Amino acid sequence: MDIDAFVEFLLAYNRKVNLVSRQSTTASLAALIAETLLLKDLVSTPLLIDAGSGGGLLGIPLAISLPEKEFVLVETIHKKIVFLREALRYLGLANASVHEGAIQEFMHHHDRPGSTLAARGFPRIEVLAEFVYKDKVRELLLISSVDKIRKIENKVAKFRQNRYNIPSRDNLVIFKLENVSRETRKRWVKS
């Protein structure tokens, strides 16, 4: 299956159960997915955790595009959980699974620090940044507003940070926060 099949499935499902805006079109969802796919080359770990998966616009396109990686879609809202499970089944995505519950609860039991946590439009990104700080994940990838990113940048100043512009979007950026070993940090300082 491909991303076009996912978009068609999401739009058809959205007519029955409101998951994304009722005004969503193939073109508007394709634009959001194109932004999501900008993350593809930034994921450097074998496992990506999608916090607040919602309609799957982050985790599912990445799972389709990166079949060699594992994905966990974390969601709290039951109708979205049902959709995510049906979408994964429909698309035959064996490299992705759904976790029902809050990201905090999932991360409490998460024992693979060499993983990536990602989110798009997550309301409290400082909660996600804490998991990098506590060494629960190696990296955090966010698609978020510039203002939200500014609020956490100083709190996570000791970690490697990169900001990437999203073409044609002045109010959104991709923010990558990495927790790397002391040895790696020393090499950065020397170079």
State pLDDT tens for residues 29-58.
999 999 999 999 999 999 999 999 999 999
State pLDDT tens for residues 100-138.
999 999 999 999 999 999 999 899 999 999 999 899 999
Domain tally, the chain: 1
The secondary element (H helix, E strand) that includes residue 119 is: strand 116-120
189 pLDDT more than 60: no
The rounded distance, in Å, linking the Cα atoms of 73 and 98 is 5
Query: Is residue 180 within 8 Å of residue 166, measured between CB atoms?
Result: no
| C-alpha to C-alpha distances, 44 to 21, 23, 141, 159, 188, nearest whole angstrom | 32, 35, 11, 16, 18
Query: Could you please report the per-residue DSSP string of 122-181?
Result: -S-HHHHHHHHHTTS-SEEEEEEEHHHHHHHHTTTTTSEEEEEEETTEEEEEEEEEE---
List the domain range (segments joined by +) for residue 175: 3-190
State pLDDT tens for residues 49-89.
999 999 999 999 999 999 999 999 999 999 999 999 999 99
DSSP for residue 115: -
Looking up residue 156, the CATH number of its domain turns out to be 3.40.50.150
The whole-number pLDDT of residue 133 equals 87
Confidence of residue 176 (pLDDT cuts 50, 70, 90): very high
Model pTM above 0.95: no
